[in-house]
Every structure is written in C-alpha cells, then in structure tokens.
Structure 1
Amino acid sequence: MLEFTTEFSLLWWVMAVLAVAWLVVWVYKSQQSIFGKKGAAILRVLRIVSLALLLFLLLKPELYIRKLEEKPRKLIWAIDHSRSMVMSKDSVEVRKLPTYLRTIADRVKGNLEVDVISFGSKVSENPDFNFNEPSTDGYAWIKHLQNTRLENEIAAVVLVSDGIFNSGYSPEYFAHELKVPVHVVAVGDTTQFPDASIYSVVYPKKVLPNTEFEIEIIAKALYLENIPLKIRLDGEGSRGEIATFRATSASESKSYKTFIKSNKPGIHRYSVTIDAVSKEKNTRNNTYVFYVEVIDERSKVLIIDEVKHPDVGVLREYFSKNTQNELVSKKPDSLRFLNSNFDFVVVHSPVHPLTFAFLQKNKALPILLISGFGTDPSGLSELIGRDVTRFSREDKAYPVANENFYKISSVNFLSIYSLPPLDVFYSISNVKAEDVLSFQKINGIPTNKPLISLLETDRKIALFHGEGLWKWKNKLQMEGDSNSFDQFFLKISRWLIHSEKKKPLEIAIPDKIQPEDKLLVKAYVYDQSNLPVSNAKVSITFTDTAGRKFEYSFAREGTVYTASAQNFAPGTYRWKAEAELAGVKQTESGILIVEENDLEISDLVANHDKLRKIAQNTEGKFYLVSHLDELEKDLLAQGFLPLIKEKTQKIRLIEWWPFFAIILILLTAEWFLRRYLGSY
C-alpha cells in the first residue's frame, strides 16, 4: 500500500505547473519552425513533465510504503527455578530440561518462537538452570509477561513447576489475565508423609527496649493425629516450652501467641522448635529462626482529636500497636500552648480554627490528612496551597494505583484487591500526576482525579482526598491480608519523616538475605554541594558474631560504586562502609541478617491440584514431566496463527534515487531530441 503526503498544499504546485506550462508553450511556439509542429509538441511535454517533477520536490513530499508481515508468535516456557524442583523423584527429568527445550525450539521453528524465562524469588530472561532460588513467587512470572510482552504476541505458555508457591500471590487466580492457554508440566512428589513443622512466625522486625512484644506461631501437623508435639521458644527474654500441639485431624494448623520481653538494644536471635517424630522424612522444617532488632528510638505522632470516625480508630490502633511510635492525642482546645516536637501529625476532617492555627504556626510539621465530610474547604485550601471546592453530593471513588509513582515503593493491595470506594466530598486542583499515589475510578471509569496524594511544599502532606479507610482494613482482613494495611501506613509514615538531605555516604544494602544469595551492595558518595563524586575510595567490612572480619572493595561505575559478596553463613553481621575523598573519611554502618529458615524445605509435597486449576482456568492442559512427548505432539498439532504486523517504510522523495532517475531520463530525452531535430 502506497501513500503520499506533502508539507504544503498541492494547490501551490498546480498553480506553479500551470505557469511553467504556459512559459514552456510560449518558448517552444517561437521555435516551432526549427523542430516542427510534432517535435515541438513532444519537447514541450518532456520539459513540462520534468519541471513539474522538480517543482513537486518543493512541497517536501514523503512516500509511505505499508506492508503486512507475518511473524511467529511466542511459546513461553516459564520454569520454576526453586530448590524444591530438584529435591524430588523427578530431579533427573528436571535437569534434562535445557536439552529438551533446544529440541522443541527446533521442531516448532517457523510456527512458534520459543522464549524461556525462569522464576523463583525473581524472574530472569536468561535462566541458568541451577535451580537454587530460595523461594517461589508464583505470581511474579505472570506480572513479568504482562509487562514485557505485547497483548497478541504470546501463543501459549508452558509452566513447569511443582506447585509449591511460598511467596507472593497464588497464580491460579491470576493466570487467566494473560488471555492465552497455560499448559502445565507438573514436577515433584505428591505423596504426603507424616510431618510436624513450624510453618511461620509473625513477629515485629523492630521493638523498643524494656517492652513486651507479641509473636504468633503457626504450627502444622500432617498425619500425626493425637500425638502431643511440644513447642519451644528460645532466645533472649524467653526460653522454654510455650505450648503442646495435639492435632485432631490428618492435616491441621494451629496458632499460638506469646509475649517476649525486650532488653538491651541490638539484634537478637530467637528460634521456635516443634518436636520431631520418628516417622518424619523432613525434619529441617521443625525449627523456625527469626531476628528482632531492639532500637532505642521512636517516632512521636500527634493525633488531633477533631471528630469521632472509624478512620481515626483504625489509625489510632495502628500507631498504638506499633512500638516504633509514641502516640499523643490532643483536642483542638489543647493545641494553643502545645510545642511542636512531633515527627508528624494526623488529622481527620479539620474544621476547628485552633487546628488550622496550630498547623499554620508549625509550617514544617508533616501532616497525614484525611479530607472527610466535615473538612473546612477554605482552611484546607490555605493549608495545602491549592483550590478546594465542595461537591453537592459525594463521589464514590475506587482506588486506581499510579503505576509511575516513585515516592514510596509499590502498594500492591491497591490493584490486587477490589477495595471498597472512599467517599470524596471535595475537588482539589493543581495536583501533579507525579504526586498522586492513587487516582479515582468513578462509575467504573478511571479518571485523573487524585485519591491519595503525597505533596511536598514547605512541609510534607500525605493527603487522602476521601474518607472510609476503615472499609479498606476490613476488606483486607476478610482477604486474610491484614499486614498490607499496616505496611501501607508504615511506608506513608517513613515518607513523612524521611529527610531529603543527602548523607555524604549512602549505602544501599538489603536487611536480610538467604545463605546462597549473592549480596550486591551499592554506595553513593556526595560532596559538600550534595553532588555525586566518582573519585572516592570505598570499602565495606562485615564482622560476624565471632569477631571475624570480611573486607570488600567497591568498583566504580560512573558515580555509583558496587561491591558483591556471597557464601555467607547464617547469622548476623555488622557492616561498616568507609569512603575516603581528598583525605576525608566518611562512614556508614548497619546490620545484615543471613536467614536460617529455608522456605523451599519447609514443604516438599508437590501441589498438583493448584497446577491443574491453572490449566483449567486458562483452557490449557496438564502434563506430568515424564510425559513431555505428549505435550510436544499437542503443540505440533495445533495450528497457531502468526502475528501479523503492519510495517511502514517512510521515504523522502528528495532522497529517493528512482525519482531523480526519471527526471534525468526526461531531461536527457529532451536534449537528445533537440540535437536530433537540429538544435544545440
């Protein structure tokens, strides 16, 4: 398909061609006696056409050539690379997968293009087939394909897994979003043996000294009915038996809560152990180790008690149970002589003049503000520096996560769960998209109206444009995910408190790793103007509990310094980083925890029922790893339609040599004809 476009109107070209034609006719009319009537007519045509083509170039014409191309669609192999994949009777077949994938890629070549990705704790486009991932996120590969592949690019997905998904969201509820068949190749042993385990321990990561903190222990027993299993807790502040678990059914879980007294600051190791019995094949999951850091610091939070509202109740509950916060509650009348030594303030539907006076007086004090029904629009407008208009009736606004938001890390529950709407009573103008954590969806239509904004002017303001947060918490509790609500407000709190001033040396290092993980550390060095420098000498030293030191130097990549290390034994390590620039040394320190719990050995029973659901929900098929030949036959028998793409080639006529060749031929023909007829 061909298409011409010009920068200027063709009318100008037509007028110019008519003028040129008149001039050429006039010239050749006077030379008709030389060339003859017929010869002059031919010469006129040649000259007019060649000049018309040259004049056409003044319009800056472009030629578009559109072609339809067929391209094979992709067959995606998503292969579970967790350690449990090679801890079963199918380990030999699993190790042969690289060879099989090369064979299947050759056999479907021309019909399908094979891509292989691996998943575990992370997703990789370049699988190493080492099967050493410490955990299995069953949702990560789905999200990865949604973000990296075009909608119609994938013909089918082949999922190779044992169905033991121990982190992230369970994939059987989300695989259908790919809108392609997901064929499942099941690996592992589904035979269940008697097993006692500490499945999980829920505990605070940080606590204050000389306080009691609660932990929740979840124990599981499989085929151990009526056998008493003692549970012990060992660590600083607590030691000894805390419960006896006696299962009454073939498969049973039970939760136990207990309190631990925190003592001196530092990181403290605790272990929970359940009795092992002689029938067990896997005893490595009988002990769960966790670490709690005792810190001698807390955030001071002020709640201005303006209204009685369920939102205030859930926030008060969150800040009260979080031992990192010291919560103070004051009525507006008590704010007149209150000092401002708070880290941030929480207020719902501010309307009292003394509330606004206190907030205006303390201009640098961060605010977590919920704009509810009773909010004073003029006071709010002055406080946030934006126009505020009240609606005649409230909007029911559902949250839509801003995928490009960067101020805090992703808040998955905003998009994963169907959360109830917030009641929005006001329109707030001039909020930049980069400040919007969540937009509003009204009557099923996503809008660009902000629902949650993180604003930065003279102070930081976390602004909820509507009320009804208590409904979100109830919904998350019904979904069995009460932790997401707390984590959300933990991130909001940290953003409010965090100072933007850069330290001379900043270290990016994870808090926890698994023993087999490769530790990657990044360092950033800044001068007195807060500008990054690239000529510093940077090193980091790790010290274990026995006092042994392990030192690593950083390599420079532009203004980023990187160091890597691995083969850490389980335990706690204190690290100290040092940067030297122009004889001046800067230091930063912290603690690294190498975890002792192995998610991959806590449950080695393959879950083929979950894999079957994935296949059923996506109109795919279920295969055992020993029956890969059946999968191959089915794939070869299917007639996958190719992906048809339109390819457009743009040619500027002034750069297209055939066009000039035509003009040259016309001018040459005119010249030869004039010579032949007796001119020149």
Structure 2
Amino acid sequence: MGFTLDTEYSLWFALICLAVAFLYAFLFYRNDDKFKDISSWKIRLMFLLRFSAVFLISFFLLSPLIKTNNKFIEKPLIILAQDNSESILHSKDSSFYKTEYRIGFEKLKNELAQKYDVVSIGFGATISDSIDFSFTDKRTNYSALFSEIESRYSNRNIGALVIASDGLYNEGVNPQYSTNNINYPLYILALGDTSSQRDIMIKEVMYNNIAFLGNKFPLQIVVHARELKNTETNVHVYDSNHELFSKKINFKSDDAFEKISLELEAEKIGLQHYYIKVDADKQETNLVNNKREIVIDVIDNRQKVLVLFNSPHPDIGAIKNALSVNLNLETEIYSLSKFDKNISDYNLIILHQIPSLTNAATTILSDILAKKIPVLFVLGGQSSFAALNNLKTGFSIGQVKTNFDESQAYVDDKFTYFDIDSDLKEFIEKASPLLAPYGDYKFSNTSSVLCKQKVKGVQTEKPLILFDSYMNNKIGFILGEGIWRWEIFSYKEYNTHELFNRLINKMAQYLALKINKNNFQLTVKKIFSENEAVIFEAEIYNESFELNNSEEIGIDIFSSDSIKYSYNFNKTTNAYRLNIGNFPAGDYSYVARTKISEKPVTAKGKFSIVPLNIEAENTVANHKILNDLAKNNMGDIFSVNEFDKLKNRILSDENIVSIEYNEKQLQDFINLKLFFFLVLALLSIEWFLRKCFGSY
C-alpha cells in the first residue's frame, strides 16, 4: 500500500504556512521576559511545539487529501449448486444420495476450498445459502438459481459453476434460456436415473376450486403409463368415506396417456377433500405419483331472485332466459295473484308492471321496502304511476295524460356502479326502442343513471334505466316495456344472446349483492398448495366506517390435530397483513381477535393446504438438457461418481486464476483522528512546559 499527499491548492502554499507558523512562533517567544532565567534549548523546544501546531492548523486550510493505493488479490470463486428437490430421491438409488453421495460432495468442496473460494447453494422451490441434502423441495426452478447467482456474484471473480441435478424442472423457464449472462465454465454432476421404469402416474387433474351446493362439477383425470403396453389398471375417486367413481383403463403403448372425464355432485358445504388413486403395477417402484388429493370449496352462495308480474308479457320470458344462464342465481317466477311464499327468502325481487292499474300491491310492496330487499321495477302500460309515486322511493313520474314515447337508449358515461364495456355500450345504443311513459321525471341526486332516453333521434335528460338507494336499500328502474326486443336484437345483430344476458345479469348481480358492513373484515384464500405462503389481510372500520389500524390483531390457527399457532398481524398504511409462510398439508381453522371501540370482535374461518407431488410426476432424469447446458457454457458433464474427475478438471483449467487489482482511495487529511490528537498533544505539551517554566 502506497500513499501520496495532495491539496486543492498548489503545494507552494505550504511554504506560506511554514512562514506564517515560523513568524507567529518567533514573535511569540522573541522578547518574553518570563523566560530570561531558563536555558535557551527549553525556549527552542517550546518554540518548536508552537511552530508545529500552527503549521498543521494553517496547512489544514489548504484542504489536504491523502491518496492511498491498495493492492488486492481475489482468488477464483467456485460455486457449488445442489438440486434439493424431491425428484432426486425418486430414483432407485435414493439411499445413496443420503449417504455416499453426500460424503463425496463434501470432500469435493473441501478439496477445492484449499485453492479457491468456495460457496454452496441449495436450489429447488427456493434458494438457500447452505446444502442440507434433505431433498424436500416441492419444485425445481433453474431460472431462479441463475438469477440469484447473477444478483449475488456478478462482480466477483467466478472461476466455475458446478450444478448437481437430475435435469428435471417444473417451474420457471427452460434452463438453456437462462444462461445468457454466463461467462465462466459450467460443470454438471448428473444425478438420477435415465432408464425408463414401469410407472403409472396421475399426470394431471383438472377441476374448479369452487362448486355450488347441489350442483354437479366436472373432474378430468389424465393418467400416464410408461413401459406398460397391453396392461390395464383401475382409476378410483373417493371422498372421506366412500368410493364415488371407478373405471378400468387399458394402455395400448409403452408411453400411453388416458383421459377420464366424470362429474361429481357437491353434497356438503365447506372444504371437501377428494382422493384420486390409480392401482399400481406389481413391478412399479414409484408409488408416490399413483395418488392425488384435491380440495374443492362447496358453497351455497346462490342468490334467489323472484320475478313477480301483473299479467303475462314477453319481457318476463326474456328476463328469465337471461338469468337462467347464471349459475349463481336461482330464479322463480310467479303471478302476483298466485304468489304465497315468504318474501324474505329472496335476495332480489323484479316487479314487472307492479304496482298496476288493477292491483296496487300495497301490502307486498310495503313488506319489500320494510325488509330492505333489493327491488327492480319494470314499468309499462299497466303500471300505476300514482301508486309508484306514493312509495316515495326518490323517483316519481308526473303525468297529465297517459302517453308513451318510443325511446332508444344512450349510455351515460358518468355511470360507475358496474362496468359497461364498449361492446355492451354499442349494443345498448343500437337496440330497439322501449315504450317509456311520457311525463315529468323526478329523481333524487343520489340516483345513478345507466342510460337516458333518445326520442326521435334527440338525446334527452330523461332516464331510461337508473339505480338508487332507499333507506339503505338498492332500487332499480327500467322505465319502459319491450325489453324482450333487446333479446331478439342481440341474436339478430350479433348471432348470440350473450350481450343481452350480460346486461340483465350485471343489473341483477349489482342489486342482489350484499355490501359487507362488518367493521372487522379478514380476507384469506381457502385453498393453498403445499409450497404456497399463507397470507392474511385485514381491515378495521370505526363506527363511521372509516379505516383505522390503531388496534392490534391477534390470530390463533388450529390444525386438525389441535396444534395451536399464534401470530400478530403487521400494520400497513391503514390496514393489516400477515404472512405465516408455508404450512404442512392438512385442514386448519382460525380465530382472529381485535377490539373496536373497546368492544372485542372476532373473525373465524377455515383453510386447507393441499399436498403437492409435482416432483413425482416425472422420475426419468433429463441428462440431455444438462449436457447441452455444459457444452454450451464452456463446461462438461460428469456422472454422479466422478467427483475426482470433476475436481481435476477444475484444478487444471488455466483460465481459473486469481485477479490482482488496485483500489484508490481519497481521504480528507482533516478527518484523520491521528492528526487531531497530534495538534492537541503539541499544544498541550507546550502549555505544560510554559506552566512549569513559569509563563502561566
């Protein structure tokens, strides 16, 4: 290490500093009568101390810098990356990888460490800083490995990368497309078995995570068989107690795929487990991939819709047809005169021309409004506008005489209650006109107009479809009859009823949707895979329904065998979040607790962790992709027992050498503590000597 001295000004100014220091010290001690009786060498010593201190202080004014030049030697870095996924142990040599292989790998590491810097990385579903040879990761991701190496060691002197793996990956991109930034040799230790064994596996199960109570839901199973030509097996599906399905399948080749489609009935509410099993062949060694567990959340979330009509009309059939395509809605249609059910059983009521000129329906209308059941009024020639006005819902029509206009619709761009895309907007504005009552329309300023009337090509401000809220209850109005023409127009113009159905269902779903007014709201998925982090999110609202996160939230999670896990939520800007990481497969329940206005509140629920066996789906090692990786990146491939060959190859590589480099640093002279204490010492010693010699 060498250093030089430099300043922001010319070093010639240092001569001025010397002159100033000399002159100051000389004048200070020239004619001091206090030192007449002491020897001259003592005066010269004090002079020298004062001169040195003043010179250093004045020299600091030149902003001196110290330039240091440090020489470093960086040894080559050898990176050892071990595949820690489950597929390694699915070969016939599984015990070998737990014992002999581990010893050989550790020996290789230690021998390389005598000459190089060596780091170990475990990879699979995640990246770890150490290798434990547990082989428990549920997935294999090469691209994450290469990204991590690039992030950590891009500025290091990497001599070589050694990857020990079976070449199987099931997450991320093809590893051959992830090595563009590699400029060092890549060596491979090829693990696993490349021979094709007799194996039957459940390759894929396709299903929906949610099913509705009482409905049938589809299930599709793909079975893959290797080296089992002209054999047969049975596929079974069970719930927790019974066999629900069984089918015999035949394999016609040594690489056969069979697809089984079936339907099961959702009979119970909640998280339901289903188990799929394929009978194993007698000579089959890998039985892990012969079974699969899935979890389906069976819910009873269908909204019940009641359509009441005054008299038969084509509008009623059109509305019924549109609602029937929505599996989340259960629609019932009754004539007002024949309806005798409990009005409280419904989530939405559509009233076609009710109240009417012949039936004011006062009792049922009062019941609907009192129980805050969302309602959609469809008006027409049979409607009693006087009776409707008497309901005082915030909307009224004043008529001098009963007249109707043929009114086309045009969409109000300010409408935001639900999305109206460009296709739906085009359909509404091109659809046939409705027969809308002529009169003086009055509606509250809280109303939201979906579309307005266009009469004889002139856009008016009169609403045609609007929504409002009456006593915290949703209300909608279709202010005209003839909506059945829109259904016909949809099919005639677009060859499908989809646009008409979409519009009616958006209106129905908006009205029927219940707003969650709970002050403590907790959100979490109900189904997780085994390698997926479980994340909770929560919000607390005060009495004014404003977000507030001043309180703490605690949660207790219970496994099916009553093991308890307790956590506290982390606060975000105005809400809460909790990531509890990965949990073992199984069913869990939870209870979250907090306080709102000093009152304790809770939120309860359940979730399920589904086992993940993706590493067992393919057990034949892919050494071809490993060989391509090595050859394309200046390396080579070695078998699992060739530790010494791999070591000698690295040691003999003349390109793996240490790097020498210089590092220059600049440091302000005044920041050096040594010189501060030096000046302090000079002045202190001078003061002490003057004290002793009688000056002070």
Question: What is the 5 A alignment of 1:5-24?
Answer: none
Displacement of 1:198 in angstroms is 1.2
Moved more, 333-342 or 192-201: 333-342
Displacement of 1:113 in angstroms is 1.1
Instruction: Summarize the Cα distance change of 1:59–1:166 in structure 2 as closer, same or farther, 3 Å threshold.
Output: same
- 1:651 maps onto 2:663 in alignment: no
Displacement of 1:58 in angstroms is 1.9
C-alpha RMSD over aligned residues: 5.6
Which TM-score applies when normalising by structure 2?
0.55
* Correspondence for 2:95: 91
What amino acid is aligned across from residue 205 of structure 1 in structure 2? N
* Correspondence for 2:82: 79
What amino acid is aligned across from residue 251 of structure 2 in structure 1? R
**Is the CA contact (8 Å cut-off) linking 2:143 and 2:175 kept in structure 1?**
yes
Instruction: Summarize the Cα distance change of 1:164–1:49 in structure 2 as closer, same or farther, 3 Å threshold.
Output: same
**Is the CA contact (8 Å cut-off) linking 1:76 and 1:158 kept in structure 2?**
yes
- Aligned partners of 2:673 and 2:74: how far apart in 1? 31
Q: Deviations over 1:431-471 (max 9, x none)?
A: xxxxxxxxxxxxxxxxxxxxxxxxxxxxxxxxxxxxxxxxx
* Correspondence for 1:676: none
Displacement of 1:549 in angstroms is 3.5
Indicate the SS of the match to 1:626.
coil
* Correspondence for 1:530: 548
Displacement of 1:222 in angstroms is 0.8
Displacement of 1:79 in angstroms is 0.9
Percent identical residues: 21
Displacement of 1:223 in angstroms is 1.4
Question: What is the 5 A alignment of 1:128-207?
Answer: 128-207=132-211
Tell me which of 552, 557, 568 is aligned to 1:540.
557
* Correspondence for 2:634: 619
- Aligned partners of 2:85 and 2:259: how far apart in 1? 28
* Correspondence for 2:252: 247
- Aligned partners of 2:598 and 2:24: how far apart in 1? 84
Q: Deviations over 1:380-414 (max 9, x none)?
A: xxxxxxxxxxxxxxxxxxxxxxxxxxxxxxxxxxx
Displacement of 1:577 in angstroms is 3.5
* Correspondence for 1:70: 73
Question: What is the 5 A alignment of 1:217-256?
Answer: 217-234=221-238, 239-241=244-246, 244-248=249-253, 250-255=254-259
Displacement of 1:206 in angstroms is 3.0
**Is the CA contact (8 Å cut-off) linking 1:511 and 1:593 kept in structure 2?**
yes
Tell me which of 56, 60, 64 is aligned to 1:61.
64
What amino acid is aligned across from residue 114 of structure 1 in structure 2? V
Instruction: Summarize the Cα distance change of 1:18–1:64 in structure 2 as closer, same or farther, 3 Å threshold.
Output: closer
Tell me which of 632, 641, 646 is aligned to 2:657.
641
Displacement of 1:193 in angstroms is 1.8
Indicate the SS of the match to 2:150.
helix
What amino acid is aligned across from residue 81 of structure 2 in structure 1? A
Displacement of 1:138 in angstroms is 3.4
Displacement of 1:579 in angstroms is 4.7
**Is the CA contact (8 Å cut-off) linking 1:206 and 1:324 kept in structure 2?**
no
Q: Deviations over 1:542-582 (max 9, x none)?
A: 3x4xxx543333479999998989995x5433333345799
Question: What is the 5 A alignment of 1:569-584?
Answer: 571-579=586-594, 584=599
- Aligned partners of 1:171 and 1:118: how far apart in 2? 16
Instruction: Summarize the Cα distance change of 1:334–1:654 in structure 2 as closer, same or farther, 3 Å threshold.
Output: same
- Aligned partners of 1:91 and 1:228: how far apart in 2? 31
- Aligned partners of 2:79 and 2:557: how far apart in 1? 41
- 1:335 maps onto 2:339 in alignment: no
Question: What is the 5 A alignment of 1:303-318?
Answer: none
Question: What is the 5 A alignment of 1:411-426?
Answer: none
- Aligned partners of 1:364 and 1:653: how far apart in 2? 73
**Is the CA contact (8 Å cut-off) linking 1:69 and 1:645 kept in structure 2?**
yes
- Aligned partners of 2:625 and 2:87: how far apart in 1? 16
**Is the CA contact (8 Å cut-off) linking 2:79 and 2:119 kept in structure 1?**
yes
Indicate the SS of the match to 1:136.
coil
Q: Deviations over 1:344-398 (max 9, x none)?
A: 565599999999xxxxx99999xxxxxxxxxxxxxxxxxxxxxxxxxxxxxxxxx
- Aligned partners of 2:250 and 2:326: how far apart in 1? 29
Tell me which of 585, 608, 615 is aligned to 1:593.
608
Displacement of 1:653 in angstroms is 0.7
Displacement of 1:265 in angstroms is 4.2
Displacement of 1:117 in angstroms is 1.4
Instruction: Summarize the Cα distance change of 1:171–1:212 in structure 2 as closer, same or farther, 3 Å threshold.
Output: farther
- 1:512 maps onto 2:516 in alignment: no
**Is the CA contact (8 Å cut-off) linking 1:152 and 1:643 kept in structure 2?**
no
**Is the CA contact (8 Å cut-off) linking 2:78 and 2:117 kept in structure 1?**
yes
* Correspondence for 2:564: 551
Displacement of 1:82 in angstroms is 2.3
Displacement of 1:634 in angstroms is 1.4
- Aligned partners of 1:275 and 1:101: how far apart in 2? 38
Displacement of 1:159 in angstroms is 1.1
Q: Deviations over 1:223-249 (max 9, x none)?
A: 12233445444559994356845333x
Moved more, 344-353 or 48-57: 344-353
What amino acid is aligned across from residue 541 of structure 1 in structure 2? F
Tell me which of 272, 283, 298 is aligned to 1:268.
272
Displacement of 1:199 in angstroms is 0.9
- Aligned partners of 1:362 and 1:13: how far apart in 2? 81
* Correspondence for 1:427: none
Displacement of 1:101 in angstroms is 4.8
- Aligned partners of 2:183 and 2:649: how far apart in 1? 19
Indicate the SS of the match to 2:274.
strand
What amino acid is aligned across from residue 164 of structure 1 in structure 2? L
**Is the CA contact (8 Å cut-off) linking 2:521 and 2:539 kept in structure 1?**
yes
Instruction: Summarize the Cα distance change of 1:643–1:227 in structure 2 as closer, same or farther, 3 Å threshold.
Output: same
Displacement of 1:20 in angstroms is 5.0
Displacement of 1:125 in angstroms is 0.9
Displacement of 1:622 in angstroms is 1.0
Indicate the SS of the match to 1:139.
helix
Indicate the SS of the match to 1:191.
coil
